[in-house]
Amino acid sequence: MLKTTIKASVLAVMSVAATMAGAQEYQASDKAKQLAKKYLIADTHIDVPYRIHNSWEDVTVATESGDFDYPRAVEGGLNVPFMAIYIPAEYEQTGGSIELAHDLIDSMEALVGRAPNKFALAYSPAEARENMNNGLMSIAMGMENGTPMEGDLDNLEMFYERGVRYISFAHSQTNHISDSSYDIRKQWDGLSEFGFELVKACNDIGMMIDVSHISDEAFYDVIETTEAPVIASHSSLRSFTPGFERNMSDDMLKKLAENGGVVQINFGSSFVAQQANRYRDMMKKRIQAVYQQFGEDSDEAKRRVAEIEATNPYPYATLEQVLDHIDHVKELIGVEHIGIGSDYDGVGDSLPVGLKDVSTYPNLVQGLLDRDYSEKEIEMILGGNFTRVWQQVLDHAK
């Protein structure tokens, strides 16, 4: 009960802060909007499948909740949303991961079936560009958590045939493939024996390997083993969030550059700003201390918790801080290794001011223009770098 109450209190503060954050508006110029429409925008991590699995909404039309729907995506210029086939970590123990993965893939095929004048599936960069030229938004898919492999490489081929084009080897817990960045238990000290086999099999079949979520040791194992470039589908930079292993260190970025891969910057405030990254833990500790001192149901505890909530609003990141991450990658390893992996519909109400949903990519473009990025560099960041890696992975398989 105590943990539930603390979580509710923290979420309430974030909700109020979200309303406040929305008051600050960004205005993209006509040029920024034009560039967002002109160039292919590929966002490699959007959590629509699990969102509508839990609470169905028809995202082919405007929705009242969530970060993605077709009208807003068109407004933002989005061409290739990579929909995350997300498998919660507990499925490693409970079973049923293959069935859930098929259900989520089915839902994306059904999405296209409901609105063939709006969406089309895409299994390659060429198909994505063809869809764009035909006025259709591509639905591409990546698997977040490799648990559905279930130790059998035949499952890799099965999901590739169903349209999955990248795999994040683990999620929030270590599994039979890899250690997780979130899990203090490092069962394999990197990849498992099957994990090494899976790297080679992904190279052979043309499946992109996603290094987001895996431990540092697993990342280096992947880099030393793969013969094709990799992606970090939705990660930001550890230099801005010290101690947060889920983000990438500068040394990892340098290895990623040597590999020819791309880091797709995550927009979530806790990935972008140190204050936001530490906020939940800070609030939980302060609220828990009040409950332990005064009792959870006492009037004094309620008064003090309300005061904590009122004086500690959620410290949302800003568009400028997201741009700082992009600047850092450019300065460290070059603009050719940067892309977008927003994590829309996957980070709750923690999105930064100026990038609250899929309609706001022009704000990002405006920020890049303001920081003197060239039109060519903007094209690379929006989707050119990622589609280059995607094609290289396919070419290697051939």
Dihedral angle over CA of 54, 99, 158, 135, nearest 10? -20
pLDDT score of 290: 63
Distance (Å, rounded) from C-alpha 63 to C-alpha 84?
A: 19
Residue 351 has phi, psi (to 5 degrees) of: -70, 150
| Residue 286 confidence (pLDDT) | 81
Among the listed residues 221, 197, 119, the one whose alpha carbon sits nearest the alpha carbon of residue 163: 119
Helix (H) or strand (E) holding 137: strand 137-144
pLDDT tens digits along 23-58: 357 899 999 999 999 999 999 999 999 999 999 999
- Each residue's pLDDT tens digit, 279-337: 877 767 787 886 888 888 888 778 887 887 787 889 999 999 999 999 999 999 999 99
> Are the C-beta atoms of 396 and 388 separated by less than 8 Å?
no
- For 339, the enclosing helix (H) or strand (E) is strand 338-340
Q: Which tokens belong to 37?
A: 């429409």
| Strand-pair partners of 42 | 80
Cβ-Cβ contacts under 8 Å for 338 (sequence gap 6 or more): 262, 263, 265, 326, 329, 330, 380, 381, 385
User: Which pLDDT tens digit goes with each residue over 143-164?
Assistant: 999 999 999 999 999 999 999 9
Please give the angle made by the CA atoms of 88, 348 and 169, to the nearest 5 degrees.
30
So what's the pLDDT on residue 14?
54
Residue reference for tokens 């498998």: 87
pLDDT averaged over the chain? 93
Phi/psi at 88 (5° precision)? -55, 150
Question: What are phi and psi for residue 232, nearest 5 degrees?
Answer: -110, 100
Phi, psi values for residue 389, rounded to 5°:
-65, -45
Reading the block at residue 260, the tokens are 């020819």
Range of the domain at 45: 2-397
The two beta strands, 231-232 and 262-265, are: parallel
CATH of the domain at 171: 3.20.20.140
C-alpha 71/C-alpha 241 separation (Å) is 34
Q: How many domains does the chain have?
A: 1
Query: CB neighbours of 45 closer than 8 A, spacing ≥ 6?
Result: 82, 84, 142, 144, 212, 233, 234, 264, 266, 341, 342, 343, 344, 346
35 HSE (CA, 13 A, CB side): 25
